[in-house]
Amino acid sequence: MRALTYLAAALLAAATPAWAGDATRGAALAEARNCAACHGANGISAVPLMPSLAGQQAEFLLVQIIMFREGLRPVPAMMEPARGLTDAEIEDLAAFYAALPSGPAATDPRNEALAARGAELSAARNCATCHRPDYSGQAQVPRINHQREDFLVHTLAEYRDNLRVGMDTQMNGVMHGMTNADIRAIAHYLAHR
């Protein structure tokens, strides 16, 4: 049943162009559901371990919210907010956040040596192949630039430790063998892009 729901979410996202949702309705829904409390009024989170959504790929958001709603991605902070959302409302939320300009979430100064190590690791792991050379993502592949560093560290470690699985296990394989120091370097590099 899980595989069928994943397939349905992927097919819905593939068949739904990024502009299918209504960003104005999405803004009203985000306000009504108090999304800003965690993800920031402008989609740039100030809450530790909470992702920024501004400028995120609409298709990626669509799939993730469906997975939260269906209980396929059990993130306690998202289970209740996603409960009861219709597909059209999810499309509207995705359109709203995708339309917002992304901005740097990093608040700490850039460490040039750490960022250089992160750039080396990113190149060695071919991150730009799926996430694009500017790390803005594409379709169902998320934007990872301008993301909170702590969120990236947490997420990448979950992939490495097989505690998080996306639509496939590709990220788990990419992260296999990465040390905590490697993950911190990549996260620092991406947060400051």
Q: For residue range 10-26, list pLDDT tens digits in order.
A: 444 444 454 579 999 99
Please determine, for residue 39, whether its predicted confidence score (pLDDT) is greater than 80: yes
pLDDT number for residue 5? 47
Q: Which CATH class is domain 112-191?
A: mainly alpha
pLDDT number for residue 2? 52
The count of residues in the chain is 193
Is 112-191 the same fold as 2-99?
A: yes
CA dihedral for 23, 28, 33, 35, sign (positive or negative): positive
3-state secondary structure of 152: helix
Nearest 10 degrees: Cα torsion 30, 36, 42, 46: -160
Give the fold, CATH level 3, of 2-99. Cytochrome Bc1 Complex; Chain D, domain 2 (1.10.760)
pLDDT number for residue 18? 44
Model confidence at 103, pLDDT cuts 50, 70, 90, reads: confident
Give dist(CA 91, CA 172) in Å, integer: 28
Share of the chain above pLDDT 90, in %: 79
Residue-averaged pLDDT of the chain: 90
pLDDT number for residue 144? 96
Q: For residue range 50-87, list pLDDT tens digits in order.
A: 999 999 999 999 999 999 999 998 899 999 999 999 99
pLDDT number for residue 129? 96
Which of 17 and 35 is assigned the larger pLDDT? 35
* The model scores a pTM over 0.85: yes
Q: For residue range 122-143, list pLDDT tens digits in order.
A: 999 999 999 999 999 999 999 9
pLDDT number for residue 64? 95
Please determine, for residue 7, whether its predicted confidence score (pLDDT) is greater than 60: no
pLDDT number for residue 49? 95
pLDDT number for residue 140? 94
Q: Where are the domains of the chain?
A: 2-99, 112-191
Helix, strand, coil percentages (3-state) for the chain, rounded to 5, are: 60, 0, 40
Q: What mean pLDDT do residues 35-47 have?
A: 95
Please determine, for residue 9, whether its predicted confidence score (pLDDT) is greater than 80: no
Give dist(CA 38, CA 124) in Å, integer: 33
